[in-house]
Amino acid sequence: MLISFDNDRPSDSPYIERIWSSHSGRPGVFLSVACIHWELVITRLQGRSIVTLRGPETRPSEWLCPADGEWLGIRFKAGTFMPQLPVHGLMDNPGVNLPQLSKRTFLLDGKQWEFPTVENAETFVSRLVSKGLVARDPEVTAALRGEPTAVSTRSAQRRFRQVTGMTFTQLRQIERARHAVGLLKEGVPIADVVWRCGFYDHAHLTRSLQRWIGLAPTDVVRGDTQLSFLYKTEGFPLG
């Protein structure tokens, strides 16, 4: 396998979706699939560390993976954002690299920060929150939970797009496609995936996966293509 994941754990933080770490053994190309979350990623390669803020992705893209690289990712929940860096500035691009000050520190908002670890990621994010660098929008959070909001529908839609970088419909479709891929990789028959994920038919599933994942269902089942991080979910959460 091109990329191996060493850690993958959910978080009890209201701001964090997942903490993960991985490494590569050889160079190659992997397929980065659509994702609703933004994240902070630390890359360690050839003795150098790079801190990158990566935004959500609304389309699949191919990435070159170097050999002997190590990565640590803090993936933030949808509805979480950085007030100083609107999410649309991070959407569908390689990300923003933060200045490195030393082997252990980097610069963010004019201040020095130590690189987080898998063990202290929650503490690190709590510090970002206390400094006003990370926040969570209550209206968007309510919408994601299917709860009523205190603003008009049009205002809620506008706010949702400002915070997440996409519409609720786009977000739901991406999550459904990712969940479908997870089921296919577990060996669930394509016909059952169509039914369990609420697609109209096989053709509908194929169009969705080709748009958001970059592969047809049969390609996913064959498993020849290395995909970006696809953690297992409890089920499609936005039905």
Q: Domains in the chain, ordered, with CATH?
A: 3-134 (no CATH), 168-222 (1.10.10)
Task: Find which of 29-33, 211-215, 222-226 is predicted with most confidence, using mean pLDDT.
Answer: 211-215
Pair 49, 40: CB distance under 8 Å: no
DSSP element (H, E) containing 122: helix 121-130
Q: What is the pTM of this model?
A: 0.90
The predicted pLDDT at position 142 comes to 86
The pLDDT of residue 202: 97
Measured in Å, how far apart are the chain's first and last C-alpha atoms? 33
Predicted confidence (pLDDT) per residue in 168-216, tens digit: 999 999 999 999 999 999 999 999 999 999 999 999 999 999 999 999 9
Residues in the chain: 239
Rounded distance between C-alpha atoms, residue 210 and residue 179, angstroms: 14
Mean pLDDT for the stretch of residues 106-128:
96
| Better pLDDT: 203 or 85 | 203
How far from chain centre, in Å, is Cα 215? 18
CA distance 162 to 146: 18
**181 three-state secondary structure:** helix
Angle of helix 168-185 versus helix 153-164 axis, rounded to 10:
50
